[in-house]
Amino acid sequence: MKLLEDRIRRDGNILGEHILKVDSFLTHQVDYQLMRDMGQVLADKYRAAGITKVVTIEASGIAPAIYVAEALDVPMIFAKKHKNITMTEGILTAEVYSFTKQVTSTVSIAGKFLDNNDKVLIIDDFLANGQAAKGLIDIIEQAGSTVVGVGIVIEKSFQDGRQLIEEMGVAVTSLARIESFAGGQLHFAPADA
């Protein structure tokens, strides 16, 4: 998605060898118009598949995911990373290790929101090592639902997350794919949409 690649080039900050900071439009301050445009593109890609639910993980996935859900006219569910005293029963969980934050979280979704008729599109802001997406796929499959695809805003193509997800038999659609940060310069691989 050229609009997104241009925005990353303009406003993204490369920190070290593996971290791209996009806090001015995606992960902290959020540009609703870009989210809306991205939601439309991801929804169009999966419109024929009969998606019934969009699933993401708090917190940076929520804004792009709600616009995908709107464009497909389905509910959005955001998985929780932290325990909450109002989540009491029928909780499906997976352990997810975050290399960025260097912690393992128990990611959870209430089972009552998914059943074996659901066709789910997962949306997330980043795909790097794929651990978050893998955890969501595990949870959704525990519920008996089908994961139709994973829609990603920014893929770090030099890490192995895409391969991991594709080997699970799930399609990946990334709006921007970063091949390398070599010498502080962004190099994009051809995007999926």
CB of 102 to a second copy, least distance (A): 8
Using DSSP, state whether 92 is helix, strand or coil.
strand
Nearer to a second copy, 24 or 146 (CB): 24
Does residue 15 touch a second copy according to CB under 8 A? yes
Instruction: Judge contact between 153 and 4, C-beta under 8 A.
Output: yes
Structural tokens at position 62: 């929520």
Binding mask 68-97 for a second copy (x = CB under 8 A): -xx----xxxx-x-x-xxxxx---------
Coil, strand or helix at 136? helix
Which amino acid appears at position 62 of this protein?
A: I
The residue behind tokens 């921007």 is 176
19 binds a second copy, rule: CB under 8 A: yes
Question: Which of 1, 4, 42, 63 contacts a second copy by CB under 8 A?
Answer: 63
Among 6, 9, 17, 28, indicate the residue that binds a second copy (CB under 8 A): 28
Minimum distance from residue 13 beta carbon to a second copy (Å): 9
Instruction: Determine the angle formed by the axes of helices 32-46 and 62-72, rounding to 10 degrees.
Output: 50
Pick from 38, 36, 72, 41: which is nearest to 54 by CA?
72
Task: Please report, as ranges, the residues that interact with a second copy according to CB under 8 A.
Answer: 15, 19, 21, 23-24, 27-33, 35-36, 58-59, 62-63, 66, 69-70, 75-78, 80, 82, 84-88, 100-102, 109-110, 113
